Amino acid sequence: MLHNTLGEVLAQSGRPQLRTAETEKYPHVTYFFNGGVEEPFAGEDRHLIPSPKVATYDLMPEMSAPELTDALLAHLGQARYDFVLVNYANADMVGHTGSIPAAIAAVNTVDTCVGRVLERIGELGGTALVTADHGNAEKMLDEDGNPFTAHTTFPVRLILVGPEAHPGSEAPQNGTAAPVSPHPATTTLHDGILADVAPTILELMGILQPPEMTGRSLLRTPARDSLGGS
């Protein structure tokens, strides 16, 4: 069992959080995301959307993404949560089928759904990070032209969407760092690894990174840029 995972740190900071996904990815946003902890942390709500009952997901490449998005937008409208985690299963699950037309439909579905979510987050003045932990649908054929159905090891994107911001400069107090502040310059991110995502989220939220997290925030600052980070 891991300690001081992102969910646990958010709970200790009193930040209400929501985890939501359809059946195929529900464990990934709950048990796995919490480092092997089955029970929710304090202030952690969970919402499961059933996946469609089909033999293979190329038969229904949209899966339950539209329903998941509708439910998520309803939750966002309540303004109850400081952190929301959502996982869209389509590109991975449909990518495993090897069907190129279905994979295209799956990606188009996620593109539409994520666009709706980002639009709402923008209306609320929030910030979003969009990423993945591996690839799949971007490679559907192997070098011989045969269907490729496995995960890929290509670098994935980490996209920051929201008001331009930079980390606050005030000294940390009582375990809380200064939150990000509005800034006229566009915020960009350093290159990094999966372990850097949680520290980046914590800095965006103004929460100190615990020592158990060995990654680093990827937000660009003058100090980090002077160290030559890419």
> DSSP string spanning 10-57?
HHHTT--EEEEEEGGGHHHHTTTTTTS--SPPTTEEEEEEPPP--SSG
Residue numbers of the chain with a pLDDT score lower than 70:
164-187, 222-230
* CATH of region 6-162, choose from 3.90.1150.10, 3.40.720.10, 3.40.250.10, 3.40.640.10: 3.40.720.10
pLDDT for 3 equals 94
Residue 59 phi, psi (nearest 5): -75, -20
Give the DSSP per-residue string, 52-115: P--SSGGGSTTTTHHHHHHHHHHHHHHT--SEEEEE--HHHHHHTTT-HHHHHHHHHHHHHHHH
**Are 109 and 115 spatial neighbours (Cβ–Cβ below 8 Å)?**
no
The pLDDT of residue 220: 83
What is the phi/psi pair of residue 48, to 5°? -95, 130
pTM metric for this prediction: 0.87
pLDDT score at 41: 98
Tell me what pLDDT residue 105 has.
99
For the chain, domain boundaries = 6-162, 173-178+185-230
